[in-house]
């Protein structure tokens, strides 16, 4: 199944590893107080982000959620500005003003996480509309969770994309829970793909732990979108290992041995095994892992070495021009 | 000079800007059928891709405007009646107002959201809203409130060319007023520049949107009583030309703010608070607000109309201020 | 098909006629300026409102839309307070404060029209939730148009009702248009019933001009709801004869001879013919029509004779206690 | 007397009222897992029908609260963070605030919408909102803003028993404060009754929610400088106890309003406007607002914190007012 002559093959592993290492480090330093605010990690879901984004061009667009450390990385973003952002530094991708819930990288088409559940869906439809009106063939990928499908914004964005046949791929990352609420308690359909029926939108459900399988359904969806065939809804069946978030209320949940069960199908382990099976040498994989480790360490060092934003920066980027700064603010 | 109504001026600004810049497009419900007359000839000129009817889903298409703006277009959303902005509040506040900031300046959102304030005409409480003060509380949104055709043309054109999100609140009580407007297709009124609609020396009447024509009528009548009123139209509420307002109040020593919106936490309250904060020493009496009573707007016409600002209320407030002036002129 | 021994048989005709006559009079006096504000008429859609409401008990609930002159009448509301409301009189069902877009009659379970498209759907879900929590067996009927299904509020209300198995019947009155927008331009599915698939909700499409057919599907839905089986989605295929509204912008639309075609299947004509076929005597029908005529004339007279609300009334019913009245308001 | 934190007080009010009245129920996202600790033991006591986890659909379940209230229940909605009210604005404004009115009093909507203002803690612009002033502009909504555990208990209990819709804004900066509260299960603080948190004679500091503890600290420090500050907590913003505020300002002649929300069109602006309108003659200087700068809240902690009201800013404002008093005491 995995075609290692495909230049993407090792890149998929690399990106999944980047996400995993990036977050492992982030969690560790968050626990030490180096990262302020909350942290919603993506660990366990890497194949969903990478399998979809790997199909995209650099100039295609992607819209994330509150759980989007992985998405810009999957889309090809450099790690330094992302890590610096988590630490609230001026060199962060959002100049330290967004933090964990707003990772993004417009230079690779990552139009940002939005931490209001469901709110990225209309934005993604709009990016698709923009491409259509500008007459280019870029497509937009929109991530959201199972829980997000309860939101009106989800419905309206899906509906617009369907009515206008916009080049948008909607990727519902079904990790089984919205905070503490099992999908079955918040969503009346068994398969998220049934949501797409309300829009007559083609849909596919896929094993979200299998990066190749995700890539295959995504490739079909992208081909459809790019050729004017309109939107597709993809459900990736996946799982988050960690609690919903740290430092955002008390969101512990007893999930029994579910986590351990899912870890047996860890997307990175699965894919690594497959690569080995396909004849990739173990030391090639080891080298990639070392490189990624070094990359993440470098990003952390960069972030740590960077300065915090100045107070005046708090008044930039509200509008295109800086706001007048009130007298009481010391700059 | 051309003679246009307020609605025609809006249409003109949209037409000119769509012609000038191919990335400008217009979307909203039932645009093509041109419900209120601001889209006359637009479909014919630009087609239904750029003059785009939407499904009924304000949060969806207003959010879509944000996305479309981020990737390089310049959307104008016609949200028809201001009351229909409520379903879209999340996209307006969480996305449109905040995206540039939370992404550290990576995003640019040049878009305009137009809506009309459809009050005073027995449309009952769910269709009569004038909610601009809510949006003033949110950083990141510019807000214009044209009170006549000339301003509507100049402000809306500037708004469409602005690289920031702008909300345009169109006052239906001003719709039919016709006046001369410049034919220069680059005629613009910069956002943040208020206008002295009439000079005067005894009292400053700061009036918003549909409050302006009322203030002008009141000023005429007050003149007959020997009271010289200066009428200031801020024209944009964000940014607010507070310098112009303070200058006037420092001259007259008295201020009234006329605001067709509900009074509680209104733009009038904000302007009053800024005046007292920055020009207290010039004040010769209280600052009075002539705004809408803080009840809902009832359907039955006779009990609806007296709830809004009226010429008589402005005159009464002005007379009260001038008569009860207890302090000596500085 | 029509069982005239069924006591509902003539009542259905009576209610449809009440709606038709009521609106004919309303339109006429609106044109003369006796009714302020806008008017969205229901003519052509009577079988949809009556066929559904006729199945309900007086203590069941119903939520309407901007186009709801017909709904409270179908639910059994008295005509006098409704007509007085249209004229803005103190004797109106809403004391003259709601008008055409807020007809209602809580005494017969008509919880009111709401003129924000889609906004009645969550309210209806809530009424259903209330009944469930209070442990009674009342059901709630929720009307909305085809266009309303684009709104997030529609989606969220449907989703709640499905997840919680609430006793709510959602009736989508598909009259082919939302203002000037054909259903096909605003809704990506051919059948509104496809919307229900996103919620795993039972659904039925029915000829909305045939009051008996509507009654039949509604009876099934009500039985399901009352017995704890959860919500149902019904699509009534129908048509409005008049323009979208009068006095609410310019909403003319060239519909060719569509109107004439639909008038051939006028719900009242169809049903009258069926009653005659079933053996009901023509003079029975004529008597009903006369009675309804007189009822509407009486309602108009009552409305005309009634006083307008006093200015103080504008400050009542914001809260349970009257608001303080500002000095500038003369009372 | 029991010693409770602010969060425990909220839990207590909910618990007591659910026990007292079987028509009271609670719904919201992830209630059962008790994210912020206001639902401890509630599921165990009342079950998951009355303590109801909702899908993520704020407009849906807040609208459902309206419907449920109309048919005879008394819902409490836990909307978690105030920022999540924006998706529900339409149901809050068009339905909850207006239904009683548009139906001429036929509807009764006894419901409470609770949400916390989750600011000051690097949660970035989309999670740090304090939007009460928006709702003040809408007639038909009562609004409470408890600043400590005692008030939270008394106000929330009164809100749950109120036959009108009440919005409860809970300030996360006050969460951990513990204090004595009455054990009387009928202990209530009537909505519309402000509280003099500290008496003083030189200056009135009107402070809202999380602004109150700051004002108290400032008052202590000011006392050392010989400035006697009176601290007033309105406790409910609708209805607003303007009589209490005016009484204080008439006594002190000076006023500062401390408001953790954005300044533009804030509750502080409204209170300032009411003071200048009704107590102008008593004023010995400008009314100053100590509110949040009108920019978004950034993630990076060091640049976020100085944007809010601080004790130092209150002291600076008070000192400025007292020192630069140009008029003679009456
Ligand atoms: C509008 C809104 N409501 C509630 C929240 C709080 N919240 C944050 S994440 C989340 C759950 C989202 O679940 P899902 O969409 O499945 O994404 P996941 O966290 O599982 O990736 C909730 C309720 C929010 N951020 N925005
Ligand atoms: C939220 C909102 N958006 C727009 C409108 C304006 N509007 C009133 S009726 C209507 C069309 C509704 O179409 P549909 O739901 O099919 O009902 P119909 O009028 O056909 O009965 C529109 C767009 C509104 N009242 N509310
Ligand atoms: Mg999930
Ligand atoms: Mg329709």
| Span B177-204, pLDDT tens digits | 999 999 999 999 999 999 999 999 999 9
Q: C69 in ligand 2 pocket by Cβ < 6 Å? A: no
Q: Would B327 be classed as within a structural domain?
A: no
Kindly report the CATH number assigned to the domain that includes residue B214: 3.40.50.920
Q: What is the C-alpha to C-alpha distance for residues C59 and D179, in angstroms, rounded to an integer?
A: 47
What values do phi and psi take at D166, rounded to 5? Answer: -130, 130
Ligand nearest to the backbone CA of C180: 2
According to DSSP, the residues that pair with C39 across neighbouring strands are C246
Q: Please say if the pLDDT value at position B329 is more than 50.
A: no
Q: C116 in ligand 2 pocket by Cβ < 6 Å? A: yes
Q: What is the C-alpha to C-alpha distance for residues C249 and A29, in angstroms, rounded to an integer?
A: 60
Q: Residue D101: list chain B partners with CB under 8 A.
A: 125, 295-296, 298
- By CB atoms closer than 10 A (0-12, 13-18, 19+), residue A261 is exposed
Q: Does B87 touch chain D (CB under 8 A)?
A: yes
Q: Are residues D124 and D51 in the same domain?
A: yes
Give the nearest partner residue to C186 out of A152, A163, A198, using CB atoms: A163
Q: Are residues B69 and B206 in the same domain?
A: no
Q: Are residues B165 and B236 in the same domain?
A: no
Q: Are residues B134 and B8 in the same domain?
A: yes
Range list of β-strands (E), C117-269: 140-145, 168-174, 177-178, 181-182, 203-207, 232-237
On the CB side of B95, how many CA atoms lie within 13 Å of its CA?
Answer: 38
Q: Would B107 be classed as within a structural domain?
A: yes
Q: Are residues B120 and B66 in the same domain?
A: yes
Q: Please say if the pLDDT value at position A11 is more than 70.
A: yes
CA of B134 to the centre of ligand 1 (A): 26
Q: DSSP string of C39-87? A: B---TT-HHHHHHHHTTS-TTSEEEE-SS-SHHHHHHT--HHHHHHHHT
Query: Max alpha carbon distance in chain D (Å)?
Result: 64
Reported CATH class of domain A7-315: alpha beta
Distances (CA, A) of B18 to B7, B9, B51: 17, 14, 10
| Contact (CB<8Å) C156/A152 | yes
Range list of β-strands (E), chain C: 61-64, 110-113, 140-145, 168-174, 177-178, 181-182, 203-207, 232-237
Q: Are residues B43 and B138 in the same domain?
A: yes
Running along chain D, 330 residues long, what does each successive block of 10 average in pLDDT? 95 98 98 91 97 98 98 98 98 98 98 98 97 98 98 98 98 96 97 98 98 98 97 98 98 98 98 98 98 98 98 98 68
Quote the percentage of chain A above a pLDDT of 90.
Answer: 95
Q: Report how many domains make up chain B.
A: 2
**pLDDT computed for residue A249 by the predictor:** 83
Which of the listed residues A179, A243, A250 should we mutate to test ligand 1's pocket, taking the one with most ligand atoms within 8 A of CB? A179
CA of C181 to the centre of ligand 4 (A): 8
Q: DSSP string of C92-112? A: STTTTSSGGGG--BGGGTEEE
Q: What is the C-alpha to C-alpha distance for residues C30 and D266, in angstroms, rounded to an integer?
A: 42
What values do phi and psi take at A48, rounded to 5? Answer: -70, -45
C-beta atoms surrounding B281 within 10 Å: 13
- Among B181, B209, B224, the domain-final residue is B181
Residue numbers of B between 109 and 128 with CB closer than 8 Å to D: 124-126
pLDDT in tens, chain C (331 residues): 456 666 799 999 999 999 999 999 999 999 999 999 999 999 999 999 999 999 999 999 999 999 999 999 999 999 999 999 999 999 999 999 999 999 999 999 999 999 999 999 999 999 999 999 999 999 999 999 999 999 999 999 999 999 999 999 999 999 999 999 999 999 999 999 999 999 999 999 999 999 999 999 999 999 999 999 999 999 999 999 999 999 888 877 889 999 999 999 999 999 999 999 999 999 999 999 999 999 999 999 999 999 999 999 999 999 999 999 999 998 8
What is the span of the domain harbouring residue B109?
2-181
CA of C99 to the centre of ligand 3 (A): 44
Q: Are residues D228 and D312 in the same domain?
A: yes
8 A C-beta contact, residue A34 and residue A47: no
Which of the listed residues A123, A178, A239 should we mutate to test ligand 1's pocket, taking the one with most ligand atoms within 8 A of CB? A178
List the single residue in A with minimal CA-CA distance to C153. A152
What lies within 8 Å, CB to CB, of B242 at 6+ separation is B271, B274, B278
Q: How does pLDDT run across B236-292, given as a tens digit for each residue? A: 999 999 999 999 999 999 999 999 999 999 999 999 999 999 999 999 999 999 999
8 A C-beta contact, residue D52 and residue D26: yes
Closest atom of ligand 2 to C67 CA is: 21
**pLDDT computed for residue C3 by the predictor:** 63
What lies within 8 Å, CB to CB, of C225 at 6+ separation is C128, C139, C167, C168, C169, C231, C232
8 A C-beta contact, residue D97 and residue C119: no
Q: Residue D176: list chain A partners with CB under 8 A.
A: none
| Contact (CB<8Å) B63/A127 | no
Torsion angle in degrees (nearest 10) through CA of C320, C321, C327, C331 = 80
Which of the listed residues B56, B77, B128, B129 should we mutate to test ligand 2's pocket, taking the one with most ligand atoms within 8 A of CB? B56
CA of C149 to the centre of ligand 4 (A): 10
- Among D123, D146, D181, the domain-final residue is D181
Per this entry, what is the length of chain A? 331
Q: Please say if the pLDDT value at position A237 is more than 80.
A: yes
Closest atom of ligand 1 to A146 CA is: 16
Closest atom of ligand 2 to C119 CA is: 1
Q: How does pLDDT run across A280-330, given as a tens digit for each residue? A: 999 999 999 999 999 999 999 999 999 999 999 999 999 999 999 999 998
Q: Would D201 be classed as within a structural domain?
A: yes
Q: Are residues D207 and D279 in the same domain?
A: yes
| Contact (CB<8Å) C252/B123 | no
What lies within 8 Å, CB to CB, of C171 at 6+ separation is C48, C52, C141, C142, C143, C144, C218, C234, C235, C236
Sign of the Cα torsion A2, A8, A14, A15 reads negative
Q: Are residues D62 and D205 in the same domain?
A: no
Q: Are residues D14 and D149 in the same domain?
A: yes
Q: Does B48 touch chain D (CB under 8 A)?
A: no
- Among D150, D181, D212, the domain-final residue is D181
8 A C-beta contact, residue D314 and residue D212: no
Q: Does B313 touch chain D (CB under 8 A)?
A: no
Kindly report the CATH number assigned to the domain that includes residue D134: 3.40.50.970
Closest atom of ligand 1 to D126 CA is: 25
Q: C145 in ligand 2 pocket by Cβ < 6 Å? A: yes
Q: Would D327 be classed as within a structural domain?
A: no
Chains in contact with B, counting 3 or more C-beta pairs less than 8 Å apart as contact: A, C, D
Ligand nearest to the backbone CA of C149: 2
8 A C-beta contact, residue D86 and residue B94: yes
Enumerate the domain spans of chain C: 7-315
8 A C-beta contact, residue D108 and residue D165: no
Tokens of A100: 């964990």
- The protein residues having their C-beta less than 5 angstroms from ligand 3 (an ion) are A 145-147, 175, 178
- Classify strands A110-113 and A61-64 as parallel, antiparallel or unpaired: parallel
Q: Are residues D134 and D223 in the same domain?
A: no
Q: What ipTM does the predicted assembly reach?
A: 0.98
What lies within 8 Å, CB to CB, of A269 at 6+ separation is none
Q: How does pLDDT run across C204-262, given as a tens digit for each residue? A: 999 999 999 999 999 999 999 999 999 999 999 999 999 999 988 887 788 999 999 99
Q: A195 in ligand 1 pocket by Cβ < 6 Å? A: no
Confidence band, pLDDT 50/70/90 cuts, at residue B327: low
**pLDDT computed for residue C236 by the predictor:** 98
8 A C-beta contact, residue C197 and residue C149: no
Q: A177 in ligand 1 pocket by Cβ < 6 Å? A: yes
Q: Are residues D175 and D54 in the same domain?
A: yes
Q: A117 in ligand 1 pocket by Cβ < 6 Å? A: yes
What values do phi and psi take at D35, rounded to 5? Answer: -50, -50
Ligand nearest to the backbone CA of C244: 2
């Amino acid at each position: 199944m995995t075609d290692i002559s495909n230049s993407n093959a090792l890149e998929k592993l690399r990106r999944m590893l980047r996400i995993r290492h990036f977050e492992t480090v982030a969690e560790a330093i968050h626990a030490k107080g180096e990262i302020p605010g909350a942290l919603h990690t993506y660990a366990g879901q890497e194949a969903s982000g990478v399998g979809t984004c790997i199909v995209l061009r650099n100039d295609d667009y992607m819209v994330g959620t509150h759980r989007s450390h992985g998405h810009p990385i999957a889309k090809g973003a450099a790690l330094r500005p992302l890590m610096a952002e988590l630490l609230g530094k001026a060199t962060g991708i959002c100049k330290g003003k967004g933090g964990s819930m707003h990772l993004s990288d417009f230079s690779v088409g990552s139009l940002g996480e939005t931490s209001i559940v469901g709110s990225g869906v209309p934005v993604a439809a709009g990016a698709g509309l923009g491409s259509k009106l500008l007459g280019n063939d870029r497509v937009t990928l929109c991530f959201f969770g199972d829980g997000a499908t309860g939101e009106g914004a989800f419905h309206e964005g899906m509906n617009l994309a369907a009515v206008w046949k916009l080049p948008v791929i909607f990727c519902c990352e079904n990790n089984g829970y919205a905070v503490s609420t099992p999908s079955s308690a918040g969503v009346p359909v068994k398969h998220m793909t049934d949501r797409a029926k309300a829009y007559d939108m083609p849909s596919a459900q896929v094993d979200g732990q299998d990066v190749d399988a995700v890539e295959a359904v995504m490739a079909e969806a992208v081909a459809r979108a790019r050729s004017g065939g309109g939107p597709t809804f993809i459900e990736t069946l996946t799982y988050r290992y960690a609690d919903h978030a740290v430092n955002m209320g008390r969101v512990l949940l007893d999930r029994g041995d579910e986590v351990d069960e899912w870890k047996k199908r860890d997307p990175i382990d699965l894919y690594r095994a497959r690569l080995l099976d396909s004849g990739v040498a173990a030391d090639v994989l080891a080298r990639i892992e070392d490189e990624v480790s070094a990359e993440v360490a470098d990003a952390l060092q960069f972030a740590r070495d960077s300065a915090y934003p100045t107070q005046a920066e708090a008044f930039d980027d509200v509008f295109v021009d800086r706001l007048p700064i009130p007298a009481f603010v010391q700059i | 000079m051309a003679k246009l109504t307020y609605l025609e001026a809006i249409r003109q600004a949209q037409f000119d800007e769509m012609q000038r810049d191919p990335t400008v497009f217009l979307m909203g419900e039932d645009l093509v059928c041109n419900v209120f007359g601001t889209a006359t000839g637009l479909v014919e000129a630009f087609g239904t891709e750029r003059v785009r009817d939407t499904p009924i889903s304000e949060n969806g298409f207003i959010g879509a405007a944000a996305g479309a703006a981020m990737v390089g277009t310049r959307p104008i959303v016609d949200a028809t009646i201001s009351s229909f902005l409520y379903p879209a509040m999340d996209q307006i506040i969480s996305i449109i107002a905040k995206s540039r900031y939370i992404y550290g300046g990576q995003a640019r959102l040049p878009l305009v959201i137009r809506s009309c304030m459809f009050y005073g005409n027995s449309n009952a409480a769910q269709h009569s809203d004038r909610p601009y003060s809510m949006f003033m509380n949110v950083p990141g949104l510019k807000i214009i409130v044209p009170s006549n055709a000339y301003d509507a043309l100049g402000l809306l054109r500037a708004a469409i060319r602005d690289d920031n999100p702008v909300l345009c609140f169109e006052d239906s009580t001003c719709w039919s007023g016709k006046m001369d407007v410049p034919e220069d297709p680059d005629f613009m009124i910069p956002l943040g520049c208020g206008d002295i609609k009439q000079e005067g020396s005894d009292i400053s009447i700061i009036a918003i949107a549909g409050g302006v024509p009322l203030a002008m009528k009141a000023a005429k009548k007050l003149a007959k009583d020997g009271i010289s009123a200066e009428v200031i139209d801020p024209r944009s509420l964000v940014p607010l030309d507070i310098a112009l307002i303070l200058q006037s109040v420092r001259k007259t020593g008295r201020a009234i703010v006329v605001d067709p919106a509900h009074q509680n936490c209104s733009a009038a309250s904000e302007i009053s608070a800024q005046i007292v904060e920055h020009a207290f020493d010039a004040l010769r009496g209280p600052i009075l607000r002539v705004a809408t009573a803080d009840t809902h707007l009832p359907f039955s016409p006779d009990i609806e109309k007296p709830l809004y600002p009226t010429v008589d209320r402005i005159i009464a407030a002005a007379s009260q201020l001038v008569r009860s002036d207890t302090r000596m002129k500085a």
